[in-house]
Amino acid sequence: MSTQTPSITQVRDAWDAIADGFDRHATPQTMAFGEQVLSRLELGPDVRVLDVAAGSGGLSIPAARTGADVVAVDIAPGMIDRLADRARAEGLTTLEARVGDGAALDFDDDTFDVAVSMNGVSLFPDLSRGLRELVRVTRPGGRVLIVAFGPVQHVEFVAFFLGALRATVPASLPPSNEPMPPFRLADPATFHRTLQEAGLRDVSVETATWEMEANSVDHLLDGVLSSNPIATQLTAGLTDEQFAQMRDVLDGMLRERSGGQPGAVLHAEMRIGQATV
């Protein structure tokens, strides 16, 4: 994998390419966990909420169900199209879906009461800039909530996938001393300090467990490969034989977890950071 910082166009195109699979596999499970996350906030009618790097609605759909006025922003048009479809299907008239760059938000200062992002801003090439933008558009006294993955070894759907890949094609993985972007806020102290450095106060970071159902090895693979462009990059150079070998190893790992059954419940350790502007 290249360590060069991707351009905005490359980021947009990479997420657009997986938008359909992301909406089918990742978003339903994300929404279920998103409801738990949002219970930490006081949402409802007349509360203005911004969801940055919203995907196809993991946080913004549950937020809009409370009656809050929600604006969801994502850089990938494919994600926004699917989010808008979900909102229309549920009749969520207080949700607006916009294509936009979370590192350069098209909103005035102090526009929102609450700003949220789940595995979104934490993935930005320039994390500090993304957080500063969230702070800028949130009113003084408003709340910011960021959700990010814990350590990779405790995010089992990723750890299982990487373990199977390492067992079959170790050269396809980056060096272990190069942490992947989704896990750079895994350390609570780093997460806490990063939010403070963005100008936030009353910072707290807690740990929660996200339970994910993998009904079969193919269900798990579909979910992993559509959850982040990194997964598709890691497998892009595999031959059909190598991919089949990796699948067989992953199937064995799932069956070992579930006592021989084809599926299993996997756990992900998540960090939830909250703060006041």
Summarised one tens digit per residue, pLDDT across range 148-157 is 999 999 999 9
In a domain, 2, yes or no: no
pLDDT value of position 6: 81
Structure token pair of residue 78: 């494919």
The residue type found at 91 is G
In angstroms, the Cα distances linking 63 to 54, 55, 116, 127, 204 are 11, 14, 10, 24, 21
What contacts 206, CB < 8 A, 6 or more positions away?
Answer: 271, 272, 274
CATH number at residue 23: 3.40.50.150
Closest CA to 105 of 81, 83, 75: 75
In a domain, 3, yes or no: no
Q: How many CA atoms lie within 13 A of 52 on its CB side?
A: 31
In the predicted structure, residue 1 carries a pLDDT above the cut 70: no
Confidence of residue 4 (pLDDT cuts 50, 70, 90): low
Confidence of residue 77 (pLDDT cuts 50, 70, 90): very high
70 in Cβ contact with 96 (< 8 Å):
yes
d(CA 187, CA 137): 26
Where in the sequence is the domain holding 202, given as residue range(s)? 8-276
Structure token pair of residue 193: 């300090």
Q: How many domains does the chain have?
A: 1
In a domain, 120, yes or no: yes
In a domain, 83, yes or no: yes
Q: What is the number of residues in the chain?
A: 277
195 in Cβ contact with 146 (< 8 Å):
yes
8-state DSSP, 226:
T
d(CA 38, CA 60): 10
Is the pTM above the cut of 0.85? yes
d(CA 257, CA 221): 16
Summarised one tens digit per residue, pLDDT across range 182-200 is 999 999 999 999 999 999 9
